[in-house]
Amino acid sequence: MADHTTRTAYTVESLLAVTVDVFNERGYDGTSMEDLSRAAGISKSSIYHHVRGKEELLRLAVGRALDGLFGILGEPAATEGPAVQRLEHVVRRTTEVLLAELPYVTLLLRVRGNTATEQWALERRREFDHRVSELVRAAVADGALRSDVDPRLATRLLFGMINSIVEWYRPGIRTADGVADTVVRLAFDGLRAV
């Protein structure tokens, strides 16, 4: 009876919200199903009622981050118009998605390992970076971005700047809009006064 109650109270989504925090705190490798059961306050068998195991939870969690990021590339402002404007949209929205899905993107950025799911996540991240670096390349070819920076290197530095936000951002101290505005200004126009 009690088990039934907790089962109905817990959805995959609420289980995922607990899981992602535990993964970020202890690392994926360092987390056991026992840890997840304790953190969620439900039995291991209740967790297995929802998912096949730890790796499926990882897949769902990083999948949520990846869906958010790849969703950006399908937005009208990312698919129509000059490459430089599409790139600006993607940079702004990537920052916004990172902030809106902070724990999930944090987990995605920390994935390192050798399971099939981790390999898949790394592959998808590379694909996203590649799509953005193609936009940088197109905008350089249009003459809208400076030609004295290597598109691949510029993309790495750009993501380095954006991804570093997970290291210090705490909701409430700064608005997501303020951060995204600053990222776009710094990336496109730099710090120098004109």
- Of residues 157-186, which lie at the interface with a second copy (CB under 8 A)? 157-165, 167-168, 174, 178-179, 182-183, 185-186
155-174: b (≥16 Cβ within 10 Å) or e = beebbeebbebbeebeeeee
Exposed (0-12), middle (13-18) or buried (19+): which is 130, by Cβ within 10 Å? Answer: exposed
Residue 35: CB minimum distance to a second copy, A = 17
Task: Give, as one character, the DSSP assignment of residue 30.
Answer: T
If the CB atoms of residues 60 and 62 are measured against a second copy, the closer one turns out to be: 62
Told to check if 16 binds a second copy by CB under 8 A, we report no
CA 30/CA 118 separation, integer angstroms: 15
Question: Which two structure tokens, joined as six digits, stand for 186?
Answer: 């710094």
CA 19/CA 57 separation, integer angstroms: 7
The alpha carbon dihedral of 185, 187, 191, 194 has a sign of: negative
Residue 163: CB minimum distance to a second copy, A = 7
Which range touches a second copy (CB under 8 A), out of 34-42, 62-70, 117-125, 153-161?
153-161
Residue 194: CB minimum distance to a second copy, A = 8
CA 18/CA 9 separation, integer angstroms: 14
- Of residues 68-107, which lie at the interface with a second copy (CB under 8 A)? 84
If the CB atoms of residues 50 and 89 are measured against a second copy, the closer one turns out to be: 89
If the CB atoms of residues 42 and 90 are measured against a second copy, the closer one turns out to be: 90
If the CB atoms of residues 15 and 87 are measured against a second copy, the closer one turns out to be: 87
Instruction: List contacts with a second copy (CB under 8 A).
Output: 84, 136, 139, 143-150, 153-154, 156-165, 167-168, 174, 178-179, 182-183, 185-194
